[in-house]
Structure 1
Amino acid sequence: MMHNRLKRMFSILAAVIPLFLGGCAGLEKSASKVPERPFVFQLAVNDIVDLATGEKLSFDALMEKLAKVRVIYVGEVHSREADHEVQRRIVEWLWRRGRRIGVGLEMLPRSTQENLDRWVRGDLDEAAFLKAVDWEGHWGFPFSLYRPLFGFAQEKSIPMRALNAPPAVVRQVSRQGLASLSDEQRREIARHFDLNDAAHRSYIEQEYHAHAPGNIRDAQTFYEAQVVWEETMAESLALWLVQEPLDHVVVLAGKGHVNHRFGIPERVRRRVAHGYAVVLPTALNEEPERLTVEAGDFLIVTAEEKPFPGHGRRLGVRLKSAADGAGLRVVEVVPGSRAEQAGFQPGDRIVAVDGEVVRDWEALHQRVQRPASTMVFTLEREGRRIEAVVHFEP
């Protein structure tokens, strides 16, 4: 499961673009912990479990509990629609009961806040918003996954806050370490970093050694980059909690940043005293019965998904939109990846997949997610077109 939780970490730090591409109020913990004992449940799709008691809850009962805390972290697998549906339902429930709520976003760096505010006010349509915040460059996962919640926030004037650090700064830390940052770069991220959480370090280093990511100097710089990422989000959220009289903030973030609480949740709590809860939507084939109270507070079981989102459909490339707006340009090819094996090269433009034109990220996502074991990519290279055959798992 650790591989699932941190896949976004590798998509940014290792430049692998996936293709589609703490506890409740009053909880205090002196040290982070990882799960030690599994609960044994007979679980089914749509079951909701209070991990502290083993009690199964209705959605309304869950929300009555969540309504008692100020911050609600809803961990996601970024490419999974079911996780985004859970997030939307939680936000809508709170709004319909008259709560003053906000939505915190891992997806965008703090520098995009002005344009995010313009979206909420209705000053930007979707196309203009995505361009203004450089959604593809900063995030890359299809906006269609987030559209229902973003649309609801705009319709109801629910404030949204960009929490993250600039991806370029995080990448530099992963390759050269914190000490390599300039004074200007340091001003773009959190002021304070806690690098002394042994359980958190162990969790991240296990992922590093399990996958040996490229373009990263070593386990230390990988860990420093993760901490820069999470401390910046924690600082951004803590400032918002102080500045705004909101009853609740629902935080949308990858599971790797909220599971076990030592990513974002406890780093926020150390800055500002408040109650929080961690909600973990988990697919049936993700072994939800192994989650414990150490991992989070509430479990929501979603339908089984195969192949698991974000796995088995990776090319191993970093992409950007072509300058003329037609197709996607290959910026980097990861050594040993499917793309390298198929003959992709930096500078190539992806024109089509299996003969169907690809003009943007949404189109590429739709093509690649089809259950085919082999796909033919049409690439444009130095004025000529070539074909590259990519093999996926059956």
Structure 2
Amino acid sequence: MSKYQRIKGRSFLAWVVLAALYGCAALERPESAVSARVFPRVLQAGDVLDLHTGTKLSFEELIRALETVRIVYVGEVHAREADHEVQQRIVEGLWKAGKRIGIGVEMLPRTVQAALDLWVRGTVDEAEFLEAVGWERHWGFPFEAYRPVFMFAREKNIPMRALNAPPAVARKVAHHGLEALTEDERRQIARHFFMDDAAHRAYIQEEFKAHVPGGIKDFETFYQAQLVWDETMAESLAVWLVQEPLDQVVVLAGKAHVNQRFGIPERVRRRLEHRYAVVVPAADNEAPEQVTAEVGDYLVVTAAEKPAPGHGKRLGVLLDKNPEGRGLRVRQVVPGSRAEKAGFLAGDLIVAADGDPVSDVSDLHRRFQSPQDAVVFTVDREGRVMEIRVDFGR
């Protein structure tokens, strides 16, 4: 029997086990999800809080508490260094506690798992790895922010799992709906979609109203696309937990996917009964006192960041290469970002920056290294060419 056949057989067995568990997994929300008490307190950077009791913990006590659950979700704002540092400390803390841990990442689609395995085994260097997984194409945020966790996994031989769906498939669903997918595309995402969570649907509907993306057919296809992300990551985790003899998995994902639990966490629990915890990093200038147990289980307060020179030049968009070769397509505009304030819309095609042609994310990164405070982008919006000025000095 070949190695591929053995892996395929294990995967089939995992599906059988998961199918059997669908009928017995509890669907009610954990008690923490309906507890919204705000504890009277003053918090500062470095504080750790149990959101159920209001008890302050040391970071070591947090690690001991997290040792008791199967999955630890640590949400992030993708461009926030402090959030990545919290993730790193939790991964290191659980590993030092002697747990056999794995790390699940939102940043990569599960179609590149083979390349991620090569990275962990140390058989490819960083440049080869980033090229093989298409980091700029699939994610777009600088690898530097994620390097410490990826390097730690490589050094300690900690299994990693690419959890997400291919971005191109999610985009197609957003524009045309699930029914437009080919059989091959449908196999690349979750088999089952749970559309009965009213709170999650209402949350996504508010996002849709506030930031209507260009090129989206309607709210239903937009909601289906959000579920492509959450359900695929949930399915990937559930299958991994059945396949691998891991004590714990630490999941690194955007806060929108883990906070309030109705994104990934509860969708994993529908597939496989287990205990989990959600850790919420929050900066000390963002009213962390208002974070309740509706949002997560533990709060870690971080210091407000002062960007290093050049680091603060974040446009606030997720980008994809244009298949036709010209420019970069805006997949998503981050709410509250410079891009949103300047007038960028999802679907815009960035073709130049200060007159220089743009064909790769690295072109923008190089532009942002310059000392100038403003960049004028040439944008093609559904055939209409316009200029959008973004001021990075404010």
TM band (smaller chain) = 0.7 to 0.9
Tell me the CA shift for residue 39 of structure 1.
3.4
Q: How does 1:114-133 map to 2 (within 5 A)?
A: 114-133=114-133
Instruction: Deviation per CA, 1:237-266: give whole Å up to 9, x if none.
Output: 000000111111000000000011110011
Equivalent residue number for residue 196 of structure 2 = 196
Corresponding position: 1:30 with 2:28: yes
Tell me the CA shift for residue 303 of structure 1.
1.0
Tell me the CA shift for residue 78 of structure 1.
0.7
Equivalent residue number for residue 91 of structure 1 = 91
Report the RMSD for the aligned CA atoms in angstroms.
3.6
Q: How does 1:252-331 map to 2 (within 5 A)?
A: 252-305=252-305, 313-314=314-315, 318-320=319-321, 329-331=327-329
Contact 2:281/2:302 (8 A) holds in 1: yes
| Structure 2: distance between partners of 1:133 and 1:119 | 10
Distance 1:377 1:178, change over 3 A: closer
Distance 1:321 1:305, change over 3 A: farther
Equivalent residue number for residue 107 of structure 2 = 107
| Structure 2: distance between partners of 1:83 and 1:363 | 26
Worse-matched range after superposition: 96-105 or 360-369: 360-369
Equivalent residue number for residue 241 of structure 1 = 241
Tell me the CA shift for residue 391 of structure 1.
3.0
Instruction: Deviation per CA, 1:135-155: give whole Å up to 9, x if none.
Output: 011001000000011001001
Q: Secondary structure at the match of 1:49?
A: strand
| Structure 2: distance between partners of 1:389 and 1:207 | 25
Instruction: Deviation per CA, 1:150-177: give whole Å up to 9, x if none.
Output: 0010011100000101101111111111
Contact 1:376/1:389 (8 A) holds in 2: yes
Tell me the CA shift for residue 287 of structure 1.
2.1
| Structure 2: distance between partners of 1:28 and 1:260 | 18
Corresponding position: 1:138 with 2:138: yes
Contact 2:350/2:378 (8 A) holds in 1: no
State how many pairs are aligned.
Answer: 352
| Structure 2: distance between partners of 1:254 and 1:90 | 16
Q: Secondary structure at the match of 1:273?
A: coil
Contact 2:75/2:279 (8 A) holds in 1: yes
Give the letter for the 2:134 counterpart.
D
Equivalent residue number for residue 184 of structure 2 = 184
Tell me the CA shift for residue 359 of structure 1.
10
Distance 1:271 1:369, change over 3 A: farther
| Structure 2: distance between partners of 1:289 and 1:347 | 40
Worse-matched range after superposition: 111-120 or 89-98: 89-98
Q: Secondary structure at the match of 1:286?
A: coil
Contact 1:315/1:339 (8 A) holds in 2: no
| Structure 1: distance between partners of 2:343 and 2:58 | 48
Tell me the CA shift for residue 365 of structure 1.
4.3
Tell me the CA shift for residue 330 of structure 1.
3.1
TM-score (norm 2): 0.79
Instruction: Deviation per CA, 1:200-229: give whole Å up to 9, x if none.
Output: 101111111112222212221111111111
Equivalent residue number for residue 52 of structure 1 = 52
Tell me the CA shift for residue 99 of structure 1.
1.2
| Structure 2: distance between partners of 1:196 and 1:124 | 43
| Structure 2: distance between partners of 1:330 and 1:378 | 11
| Structure 2: distance between partners of 1:47 and 1:370 | 37
Q: Secondary structure at the match of 1:196?
A: coil
Contact 1:72/1:248 (8 A) holds in 2: yes
Give the letter for the 1:244 counterpart.
E
Q: How does 1:148-187 map to 2 (within 5 A)?
A: 148-187=148-187
Equivalent residue number for residue 351 of structure 2 = 348
Distance 1:359 1:95, change over 3 A: farther
Tell me the CA shift for residue 316 of structure 1.
5.8
Tell me the CA shift for residue 69 of structure 1.
0.6
Q: Secondary structure at the match of 1:113?
A: helix
Unaligned runs of at least 5 residues, structure 2 = 1-24, 334-338, 380-386
| Structure 1: distance between partners of 2:212 and 2:283 | 26
Instruction: Deviation per CA, 1:78-130: give whole Å up to 9, x if none.
Output: 11111111111111111122210100011101110000000000011000000
Distance 1:159 1:332, change over 3 A: closer
Distance 1:323 1:84, change over 3 A: farther
Contact 2:173/2:221 (8 A) holds in 1: yes
Distance 1:286 1:146, change over 3 A: same
Unaligned runs of at least 5 residues, structure 1 = 1-26, 380-386
Give the letter for the 1:286 counterpart.
E
Give the letter for the 1:348 counterpart.
V
Instruction: Deviation per CA, 1:288-341: give whole Å up to 9, x if none.
Output: 11111111000001112479xx999437683539999xxx94345999967878
Give the letter for the 1:201 counterpart.
R
Equivalent residue number for residue 22 of structure 1 = none
Q: Secondary structure at the match of 1:242?
A: helix
Contact 1:40/1:290 (8 A) holds in 2: no
Contact 1:102/1:246 (8 A) holds in 2: yes
| Structure 1: distance between partners of 2:283 and 2:180 | 40
Q: Secondary structure at the match of 2:293?
A: coil
TM-score (norm 1): 0.79
Give the letter for the 1:330 counterpart.
L
Give the letter for the 2:74 counterpart.
V
